[in-house]
Structure 1
Amino acid sequence: MAEQEAKKWGLVIDLDRCSGCQACVTACSMENNIPFTGEDEVAYGRGMHWIRVQRYWTGAYPDVKPDRTPAMCQQCGNAPCEPVCPVFASVHSEEEQINLQVYNRCIGTRYCANNCPYIARNFNWFDYEIPAPMNYYLNPDVTVRRRGVMEKCTFCVQRIKHGEDVAAAQGRALEDGEVMTACQQACPTDAIVFGDLSDPNSRASQLARSERGYHLLEELGTLPRVTYLKGGGYYGG
């Protein structure tokens, strides 16, 4: 079987469908062995979640309404975190075309976090202990990180690799929708779609070309792989 072509993985988030329930946050934490740091550490700015539901207000007083945007690593094609890492722990994957974090290289300089305009990276301050029986929930497919490294969303690269391995073993190409990120799988409103943006027929690619599509801080030229669909009353697929 011929080697599969590199894919351009990306996320599309429909803000009209997002209810702000934070199921994606919980699913991401469970899938990727993210420690629960506790209320005090979160208040101190040391929460470890790889995805957050960013809240903000729109409109002018008194017609003000709350709104939300799920935010995670935008998997920039021109990532500002990569050139500042002195040990090449932040690297771009040629196979998946996503920004990876090599934990066993990271020495915790936090240069990447300082250079990330999306505030999408977290520094692991402590060796967080997971008391029994919660330690049984740890995902064996994902590294358990230790103190002193930077962490961030990886588009559930372990699920991508598993899907590719299954498809290769069966002698076929990976099908659209076969790989789902944890946040996508848990979303009750189908607000998150994951897929190959280089495939014009994939659902994610079609949604990313929508007139409602935009990127966070697009003017910075980071070339994000996460596309947001503007809200405003539309509830379409």
Structure 2
Amino acid sequence: MSERLGFVIDAKNCVGCSACMTSCKVENNVPRGIFWNRVLTDGGVNQNTPSGKYPKSGEDPTLRMDYITVACQHCDNPACVKVCPVGATYKDPETGVVRQDYDKCIGCRMCMAACPYTGVRSFNWEEPRSFIDHAMGDADVPAHQKHVVEKCTMCWHRLAKGLQPACVEACTARIRYFGDLNDPESEVSKLIASREYKQLLTSEGTNPSVYYLV
């Protein structure tokens, strides 16, 4: 049986440090102004603000703030793959990773329109520029191209070397887990079997390969 690689994220214990977001950007030399992995606040209307209000004397507190990290969900039934007219977006048959072939991409952005997870894909309208004055990250990261759709690659270049994705390695709170969801003995499978979890937009029928422990 082929693998189905995925993430399990302990959202209950995420501290919102953004190490996963930053490490992804650096490791993959993600172009200026773009993030493939974002840390969102589930609370107030602004980043890092809680919902509720500070209690007055004798009142119970109502403040609440949680974090959720969002990137490509590497769906088991990806909507993006179905609409790509040239096969530039495809699901790797051996690992289940949803990948992008930059050389095939014609920039139609059909994958972006079909994906129900807003903001996990980006389009390079102009020639990509590094965050600093020179390229960062791993030398094996494919060169970014103009008029091409990009997204989380699950650090494919690291997987090829037997390494974990950069976001997992960099997580300071150690709440990001990675492995084969088809293997009942893997750490990720045991976690979702023993803890309550949620997936994003399950009503869309995509069966995302990212699980959030709650």
TM (norm. structure 1) is 0.79
Aligned residue identity for 2:86: V
1:68 matched to 2:67? The reply is yes
Could you tell me which runs of 5 or more consecutive residues in structure 2 were left unpaired when the two chains were aligned: 45-49, 54-61
- Aligned partner of 2:175 among 170, 191, 194: 191
- Aligned residues of 1:207 and 1:213 also touching (Cα < 8 A): no
Note the alpha carbon deviations across 1:147-180, whole angstroms, 9 max, x for none.
Answer: 10000111111111111xxxxxxxxxxxxxxx31
Runs of 4+ in 1 over 6 A off after TM superposition: none
SS at 1:117's partner residue?
Answer: coil
Shift of 1:128: 2.9
Residues of 2 paired with 1:21 and 1:222: CA distance? 29
Identity %: 38
Residue 92 of structure 2: aligned partner:
93
Residue 113 of structure 2: aligned partner:
114
Aligned residue identity for 2:40: Q
1:204 matched to 2:188? The reply is yes
1:143 matched to 2:132? The reply is no
Shift of 1:187: 0.4
1:57 matched to 2:43? The reply is yes
Residues of 2 paired with 1:102 and 1:92: CA distance? 11
Residues of 2 paired with 1:7 and 1:75: CA distance? 13
Could you tell me which runs of 5 or more consecutive residues in structure 1 were left unpaired when the two chains were aligned: 38-47, 164-178, 231-237
Shift of 1:131: 8.0
Aligned residue identity for 1:10: G
SS at 1:141's partner residue?
Answer: coil
Shift of 1:110: 0.9
Residues of 2 paired with 1:7 and 1:183: CA distance? 20
What number of residue pairs does the alignment pair up? 200
User: Is the deviation greater in 48-57 or in 70-79?
Assistant: 48-57
Pairing 1:1-237 to 2, within 5 Å after superposition: 6-37=2-33, 48-57=34-43, 61-62=52-53, 63-119=62-118, 120-130=120-130, 134-135=133-134, 137-163=136-162, 179-230=163-214
CA RMSD of aligned residues (A): 1.9
